[in-house]
Amino acid sequence: MKKWIYVFLALVIYFIVVSVLTLFESNADGSNIKSFSDALWYSIVTLTTVGYGDLYPVTPMGKIVGLLIIISSVGVLGYVIGEIMAKINDYMEKKNQGYWGTDFTDHYVMIGWNEFGRSVAQQILNSGKKIAIVVDSKEKLDLIKSIFETDNCFVLYSDIQNYDSFKKVNIEKAKSIFVNLSDDTETLVFILNLKKKYSNLSFIATCKNASLKDTFMSAGVNYVVPQSEVASRLVASYIFEPQVAEYTEDLITTSKSDLESDIQQYRIIDSNEFANKEYLEIFYEIKQRFNAVAIGLVSGQGLLKNPDNDHLVKSGDYLILISAGKVKSELEKFFGVLEGQ
């Protein structure tokens, strides 16, 4: 409010000075400032430092007033430029912090950041998907932006307890939400509160204490990954079957090159020729056409790790494959959908 009072007072003083200049110059011999509009034009040209020279004061008092206008123009111009730069800097800072939001859809949202989250984000981005990350410190924001310089990664700096701010990451149109907080209790409470506001979201969470897995599931988390449990299984596999463990680790990691393989899933749409075909027939065709291996199916019955040979694959089912990176684009073209969608 004070700012606008100062602006009003400055305008009043400005018009008073212009009126005084008109008073001194309008009736003077040889003067070219004959009216208020002439004086106003002279002051504007002077304040903007254009200086056409078409109008100028000729009386001693008029020159003094003109000198005041010239001197004040430096301050006014500096103030205006400063205000413009401040607005631009404020806009850019808000943009950097994600204040203006994103229009991502069918993306993934990660809430919280640490080294584990960094690995997860890297895998998502390697697969060509989009991710929005919410952090509660500027240091983390700057770190993420320095690591992932890509249009597929959006970062929001916000208080994670401000649930309304998640609208800026278009959370309601996200495929799933990965809650990546440091404490299991904090994660559980956070999910319970977030589900009150966004009840239809799909949640994924990790927990350090494997015994809390059922608690997380009861709270409405769709998938719970106990970090120690997954790590221990992989380590045990390396101990007694290292080649299998190495292959498993490779499969669950998004392929970065044409020669690497990973596990992918593709939705069967109505127009796809696999709709209403038996699983065994699809298995052979996938192998022959793309040198990929069908290993399972997701249907209304849930995950089928090894469907019966005569199991009918229907539109809307997801076919799970092992394939090399080099045929990913061919598979997406054949199925008419992107991997995982």
Q: Any idea where the domains of the chain sit in the sequence?
A: 2-96, 108-231, 257-335
For position 209, what pLDDT does the model report? 85
CA–CA separation, 255 and 33 (whole Å): 77
Architecture of the domain defined by 108-231: 3-Layer(aba) Sandwich (3.40)
Quick: pLDDT tens for 90-111: 999 999 999 999 999 999 999 9
Q: Which CATH number is 2-96 given? A: 1.10.287.70
Residue 150's CB: how many other CB atoms inside 10 A? 11
For position 78, what pLDDT does the model report? 78
Stretches in the chain below the pLDDT threshold 70: 1, 230-231, 234-235, 238, 255-259
For position 54, what pLDDT does the model report? 77
Quick: pLDDT tens for 251-294: 777 766 666 778 889 999 999 999 999 999 999 999 999 998 99
Q: Which residues contact 234 (CB under 8 A, 6 or more apart)?
A: 245, 248, 249
For position 281, what pLDDT does the model report? 93
For position 322, what pLDDT does the model report? 87
For position 1, what pLDDT does the model report? 64
For position 258, what pLDDT does the model report? 65
Task: List the beta strands (DSSP E) in 136-240.
Answer: 153-157, 176-179, 203-207, 223-226
For position 132, what pLDDT does the model report? 96
154 strand-pairing partners: 132
Burial profile 255-267: b = 16 or more Cβ within 10 angstroms, e = fewer: beeeeebbbbbbb
CA of residue 256 relative to chain centroid, distance: 23
CA–CA separation, 8 and 5 (whole Å): 5
Top-tier CATH class for 257-335: alpha beta
Is residue 237 within 8 A of residue 210, CB to CB? The reply is no
Please name the residue that has the structure tokens 């981005």: 125
